[in-house]
Amino acid sequence: MVIPATEKNPTIEEALQWRLLIHGGAGSMTRDQMTQPQDSGVRAALGRALDAGSALLKLGGSALDAVTASVKVLEDNPHFNAGRGAVYTYDGTIELDAAIMDGRDRNAGAVTGISRTKNPVVLARHVMEDSPHVFLNRKGAERFAIEKGIEQVDPSWFETPERKRQWQEFRQHKSRYFDIDMKYGTVGAVALDHEGHVAAATSTGGLTGKRWGRIGDSPVIGAGTYADDRACAVSATGAGEYFIRIGVAHEICARVRMKGESLQQAADAVIAELGGMGGVGGVIVTGPGGDLVWSFNTPGMYRARTGSTGERVIAIYADE
């Protein structure tokens, strides 16, 4: 028997409460710097990533599956500094980092220095679910990926002409690592599912010109990625060293849990602290109460949010 959707009998889709918030990096994006094709290409890609995650949440899928799906779409899109389109290291290689965290039990998985696994977020998820460990690096992580049958690609798959040009410019001008013009383009997602669980995932190529096996905040649990059902889920982007020093993602959740701050208050306070130390970047945050929050101190941040409320926002510039 088909039960008609009335106010008293909502369809399953209408009855499920969920939220999804994604980012594609914070940086110096201003209206006069971005070309029209860039602007619309980024918005379209953010829209597709929102669709991938929300399609699952709508049908009762988990926050964990949603953040995995959204981040995967962003990793595959060359507009962002993650997966395909990641930035180059000083030596001209590509080394990817990713992390994922489940707010239900604070289980987590992370990988760093990845150069052959097509979707580092998928590998991080396997580390969380199929290994006794939380954080794997380089060759060991990729050996694990092969053992688990996770898709491998030639390292050239990640390369794009635009990132190569940025790398050449970096080498010629000896740019500073935290030059805001390097346009951080890390990707991330946070979600709340209909069971009230939160999850977070982040994936990145790190910083253009990074050296000596540098690891940023994105795969560091508590710095660039954190999720705890008692408080919130956070994914960060920006100058990773500062995020690590503050433990940004955990700090936001700790303020919410122990000080009773709202998600916005906690995110703004921690981004202000970051700015005070000289760090630039931003965060996206959601929590069991259903708030969707972002906070950043850069001119722009690629970001988008949606939820069972029907809201759908895609934004780039600070004034949007």
Q: Does 166 bind ligand ASP (CB under 6 A)?
A: no
Q: Which of 207, 254, 284, 316 binds ligand ASP (CB under 6 A)?
A: 207
Whichever of 95 and 261 has its CB closer to ligand ASP, that residue is: 95
Q: Which of 237, 295, 306, 308 binds ligand ASP (CB under 6 A)?
A: 237
Whichever of 117 and 218 has its CB closer to ligand ASP, that residue is: 218
Q: How far is the CB of 210 from ligand ASP (least distance, A)?
A: 7
Whichever of 120 and 307 has its CB closer to ligand ASP, that residue is: 120
Q: Which of 217, 228, 229, 251 binds ligand ASP (CB under 6 A)?
A: 217
Of 186, 208, 237, 298, which one is the catalytic site residue?
A: 186
Q: Which of 83, 109, 113, 240 binds ligand ASP (CB under 6 A)?
A: 240
Q: Does 218 bind ligand ASP (CB under 6 A)?
A: yes
Whichever of 46 and 56 has its CB closer to ligand ASP, that residue is: 46
User: Is residue 186 annotated as part of the catalytic site, yes or no?
Assistant: yes
Distance, first Cα to last Cα, the chain: 46
Q: Does 81 bind ligand ASP (CB under 6 A)?
A: yes
CA angle at residue 23 from 20 to 27, to 5 degrees?
160
Q: Does 184 bind ligand ASP (CB under 6 A)?
A: yes
Burial-class residue 40 by CB neighbours within 10 Å (0-12, 13-18, 19+). exposed
Q: How far is the CB of 66 from ligand ASP (least distance, A)?
A: 21
Whichever of 207 and 266 has its CB closer to ligand ASP, that residue is: 207
Q: Which of 24, 25, 78, 109 binds ligand ASP (CB under 6 A)?
A: 25
Q: Which of 54, 89, 115, 204 binds ligand ASP (CB under 6 A)?
A: 204
Q: How far is the CB of 247 from ligand ASP (least distance, A)?
A: 14
* Token pair listed for 150: 């996770």
DSSP string spanning the chain?
-PPP--SSS--HHHH---EEEEEEEEE---TTTS-HHHHHHHHHHHHHHHHHHHHHHHTT--HHHHHHHHHHHHHTSTTSSSSTTPPPPTTS---EEEEEEETTTTEEEEEEEESSBS-HHHHHHHHHHHSS-SEEEHHHHHHHHHHTT--B--GGGG--HHHHHHHHHHHHHT--TT-GGG----EEEEEE-TTS-EEEEEEE---TT--TT---STTSBTTTEEEETTTEEEEEEE-HHHHHHHTHHHHHHHIIIII---HHHHHHHHHHHHHHTT--EEEEEE-TT--EEEEESSSEEEEEEEETT--EEEEEETT-
Q: Does 206 bind ligand ASP (CB under 6 A)?
A: yes
The C-alpha R_g of the chain, in whole angstroms, comes to 18
Whichever of 81 and 306 has its CB closer to ligand ASP, that residue is: 81
Q: How far is the CB of 300 from ligand ASP (least distance, A)?
A: 13
Q: Does 88 bind ligand ASP (CB under 6 A)?
A: no
Which residues carry out catalysis? 186
Binding site for ligand ASP (CB under 6 A): 25, 81, 184-186, 204, 206-207, 216-218, 224, 237-240
